[in-house]
Amino acid sequence: MSTPPDTAPGAALPARRDAEATKAAILRAARYFLARQGHAGITLKAVAERAGVSPPLILKYFGSKDALFARVMSFEGDAAGLLDAPLPELGRHMVRHVLLSQRDRGADPVLRIVFAPLHGERGDLLRANFRTQVTERLAERLTGPDAPLRAELAVGVLLGLSAMYGIARGPALRASAIDDLVERYAPAVQGQLTPLPG
């Protein structure tokens, strides 16, 4: 006797994958608005329309607008991908990761920090998360003196590229091959990750 299809092992997996894809779409839509206007002016209706879902579905998955934006204001998951390379290759990895994230997913792992002033008191949360989840986490990986300073400088260099690619949308930059941009820009980031000689 065979197992009925609806009770077969793994039968619920497609629904789970759909739920994860829907949550990801909602988070992308919320990030889109967070990078363009203040938190107070963003409605669940607008996020839902951009994500292709209904506002009640957002509430089902995240509970409230504040809970949704608490997730969006976290850099935890983004920092994991951004910093996922051995230290000698980290500059190249970070540059490539930022550019591919913008080009292929329409989202940047760190750029939303530049919009902190738009968000009033919530901007303080964004800054605190960025500091602990990105720059301090990077500093912990660095060797040699001035690790916190070098981490902030490296991320600052990276943010310049992010802003030029994603906000200013420099036409020459966006028309260039990712590999070429990595070759040109990665040394500037890696230079801050590496202690000065002497």
From first to last of the 198 residues of the chain, give the pLDDT tens digit: 444 444 444 444 445 658 888 888 898 888 888 777 777 788 889 999 999 999 999 999 988 888 888 787 788 888 999 999 999 999 999 999 999 988 887 778 888 888 888 777 788 888 999 999 999 999 999 999 999 999 999 999 999 999 999 889 999 999 999 999 999 999 999 999 999 886
Tell me how far apart the alpha carbons of residues 60 and 17 are, in angstroms, rounded to a whole number: 16
Instruction: Provide the CA 32 distance to its chain's centre, in angstroms.
Output: 11
Neighbour tally for 47: CB within 10 Å = 27
> Cα separation of 157 and 188, whole Å?
7
Q: Which of 89, 69, 66, 75 is nearest to 26 (CA)?
A: 69
Q: Write down the pLDDT at residue 111.
A: 86
Long-range contacts of 61-66 (CB under 8 A, 24+ apart): 61/19, 61/22, 61/23, 61/26, 62/23, 62/26
Residue corresponding to tokens 């040109």:
184
> How far, in Å, are 76, 149, 163, 185 from residue 168 at the CA level?
26, 27, 6, 17
* Residue 143 DSSP symbol: -
pLDDT at 1: 43
CA 132 to CA 8: how far, in whole Å?
A: 44
Q: Is 142 exposed, middle or buried (0-12, 13-18, 19+ CB in 10 A)?
A: buried
- Alpha-carbon distances of 160 from 103, 122, 188, rounded to whole Å: 16, 23, 11
Q: Are 57 and 22 in contact (CB under 8 A)?
A: yes
Q: So what's the pLDDT on residue 66?
A: 80
